[in-house]
Amino acid sequence: MGGTGETMRNPLPLTTHAVRSSARGLLVWSAGIAGTLFLYLPLFPSLGGASELQAIIDTLPPELIAALGYDQITTGAGYTQSTFFGLIGFALMVIAATSWGSALLAGAWESGDLELELAHSVSRTRVVLEAALTLLMRISVLLAVAGTVILALNGPAELDLEPQNVAAALVALGGLAFLSGAGALLAGALSGRRSIATGVGASLAVLGFAFQAVARQSNDLEWLGNLSPFHWAYDPLPLQEGFAQPGLPLLWGVGAVCVALTVLVLNRRDVT
């Protein structure tokens, strides 16, 4: 550093740069995830495990219970799923990944940074792949934080979760976040506009959630659930069944396809 002559060639210059310059933001997101878990999970012994909660749940309309996935809320797995993986954790992860995915490509495009980088010795394929890698790394950090906090609270909060089931749920949540982020990358390559990229990333999550919530209302609507990434991630419930979701490869596969399409699209167009 600061010396003269040739610097060592960094194999991942864009990812390194992105991760370094976003360390503070990542720290804030991590604190948000950890804070949510510390807020909700310790309440389980006094809420979910108690018969009062079941009594309250019983008064709710069955449609609402189905939509929110509250049917299992009196078990540790059901409670963790309903509060974190299926609701606030899901929302936080998807918002984070969408904002990253749209900033990494469309944001850089709008700010002119992309034009500047592409004028140097970097290929468009590399730009996309390193953006996807950055996305994966940041998501992994948040998942690691979440996993650590959940396992730390597992005993004290009497959740009775199996570690491998927690891992399965984290991989599913990560897949949902990655899909939104990758969707934002693809929309960014197609439009060059940050607002559109954000909209697409968020829509993937919102529609996914809505489809499975509606699908739970009636057997006739089950096909709708099959279109939902949320359903691919969480059916059957990973916190109870472990890595048993048949949709998990599909979830990550669609995310990967989005990245591949982003490479194709960006390579074929003008960076205006």
Give the interface with another protein as residue ranges (CB under 8 A). Answer: 2-7, 9-10, 13-14, 16-17, 21, 111-113, 115-123, 126, 269-272
Handedness of CA 26, 31, 36, 42 (dihedral sign): positive
State the DSSP code for 242.
S
Amino acid of residue 150: I
Question: CB 10 → another protein: shortest distance, Å?
Answer: 5
Please identify, using beta-carbon distances, which residue of 117 and 235 lies nearer to another protein.
Answer: 117
Q: How many CB atoms lie within 10 A of CB 64?
A: 11
Please identify, using beta-carbon distances, which residue of 100 and 209 lies nearer to another protein.
Answer: 100
- Give the integer Cα–Cα distance in Å for 227 and 222: 9
Please identify, using beta-carbon distances, which residue of 55 and 119 lies nearer to another protein.
Answer: 119
Question: CB 268 → another protein: shortest distance, Å?
Answer: 8
Please identify, using beta-carbon distances, which residue of 164 and 267 lies nearer to another protein.
Answer: 267
The helix (H) or strand (E) run that includes residue 146 is helix 124-154
Question: CB 100 → another protein: shortest distance, Å?
Answer: 16
Question: CB 227 → another protein: shortest distance, Å?
Answer: 35
- Give the integer Cα–Cα distance in Å for 230 and 210: 9
Buried b (16+ CB within 10 A) or exposed e, 207-221: ebbebbbbbbeeeee
Closest by CA position to 17, among listed 87, 116, 89: 116
Please identify, using beta-carbon distances, which residue of 7 and 51 lies nearer to another protein.
Answer: 7
Decide if 169 contacts 57 (C-beta within 8 A).
no
- Give the integer Cα–Cα distance in Å for 226 and 229: 8
Question: CB 17 → another protein: shortest distance, Å?
Answer: 5
Decide if 101 contacts 184 (C-beta within 8 A).
yes
Question: Which residue carries 């449609």 as its tokens?
Answer: 63
Please identify, using beta-carbon distances, which residue of 189 and 200 lies nearer to another protein.
Answer: 189
Question: CB 218 → another protein: shortest distance, Å?
Answer: 47
Please identify, using beta-carbon distances, which residue of 91 and 193 lies nearer to another protein.
Answer: 193
Question: CB 99 → another protein: shortest distance, Å?
Answer: 16
Closest by CA position to 135, among listed 182, 91, 193: 182
